[in-house]
Amino acid sequence: MITTSFSYLTILIFITSSLLYIEHKSRAKFFEYLPPIVILYFTIMGFSTLKLWEPTAEITLTYKAFKSNLLPAMIFLMLLQSDIRKILKLGKKILLTFFLASLSISLGFIIMFALLHSFFEAESWKAFGSLSGSWMGGTGNMLAIQEALELPDSKMGYVLLIDSIDYAIWVMILLALVPFAKNFNNWTKANDSVLETLTSKLTIEEEKKINFPTLFMLLGLALMVSLLAQNIAPLLPTTSFLTNTTWVVIFATISGIILGMTPLGKEASAVPLANMMLYLIIALIASRANFTELSQAPLYIFAGFIIIVIHAIIMVLFAKLFKLDLFSLGIASLANIGGVASAPILAGAYNKALIPIGVLMAMMGYIVGTFMGLGVAKVLELIATFS
């Protein structure tokens, strides 16, 4: 049994790196349906259930130190890739569709929770609040909200179950609808010529190659942002919801958005650094979880499908009202729920020239996901409190 911090971290990093290496080398279709991040979580959760490591004082201190210090750095690096000036070039109609998707997802969470909250545990609103961050942004937003809401790591299994199972089925449905785009557009009376005009103007700039000096500099900068965030946050006013941790998340988010508009936003080195931190944080969280704590898994998965159904119904109504095309609708949905990993895939299924739109819309999710997710979490908390 592992009882020292070095052994604990070494095992987590070894499992994480091995899994990613296997995924990269094998290119197995298995990983398309079950993302490596989900496999990682439940693999390490399995070792935790088998008590491969003992939560000694040393290991607990290491866990807390790494998680609390790496999270703001990871948030900063992920937001550094999102240049808001490029996103604004998408135009009013595309941006409107994106925010309509975000709004419908928010309403999906609120309506579902209002109907089913009595069937869940007392603080289940925190789990759904964290999931809303993922479904309006990405995994980084989910972890940011989890930290801000102080959701126990043991409950993150529910969040990742919904995020993988429900999301995978929704992606397959949207891809299956691609051949029916013309019929749908005729029904909504959509004018898709704006997409052709937009595509001719948008290109994704070729990223610079990863190099050691930039990689090292971005690591130092990200850690410095984390340090500043944790030292400035205690100086800011707090409430029962806007806690010290929430301020840390907000500071790191705003720092990433601002510096994303500088030449630093074009550096490819930020991507692998952010992903390494993301996977290590997921591994740390999973190391504190246990399979015996997931007794309500089927109910959570069912709730996730209800959220998606409500989202889909509202989006179809919006499409008819605002004369939106199926491409914009689907990409806006996946830019929220799936993020940069899946929105470009759906865009490419329509036309490879449309991939830049999918990428930029997904980047928009990184920017707004944390703030909108915190807003949804607050509404869910009110429902849980006063119902």
Query: pLDDT tens-digit profile of 49-66?
Result: 888 888 888 998 998 899
What are the distances in angstroms from CA 252 to CA 148, 182, 265, 306, 377? 12, 43, 15, 33, 19
- pLDDT average, residue stretch 217-237: 93
Position 318 confidence tier, pLDDT thresholds 50, 70, 90: very high
Enumerate long-range contacts of 33-37, CB under 8 Å, 24 or more apart: 33/168, 34/164, 34/168, 35/164, 35/341, 37/139, 37/160, 37/278, 37/279, 37/282
Position 293 confidence tier, pLDDT thresholds 50, 70, 90: low
Q: Which of 116, 44, 81 is nearest to 339 (CA)?
A: 81
What are the distances in angstroms from CA 128 to CA 105, 125, 131? 12, 5, 5
Token pair, residue 384, equals 């849980």
- Residue 316 pLDDT: 93
Does position 263 have pLDDT exceeding 80, yes or no? yes
Does position 203 have pLDDT exceeding 60, yes or no? no
Query: What CA–CA distance (Å, rounded) separates 129 from 147?
Result: 11
Does position 302 have pLDDT exceeding 60, yes or no? yes
Does position 7 have pLDDT exceeding 90, yes or no? yes
- pLDDT average, residue stretch 175-202: 76
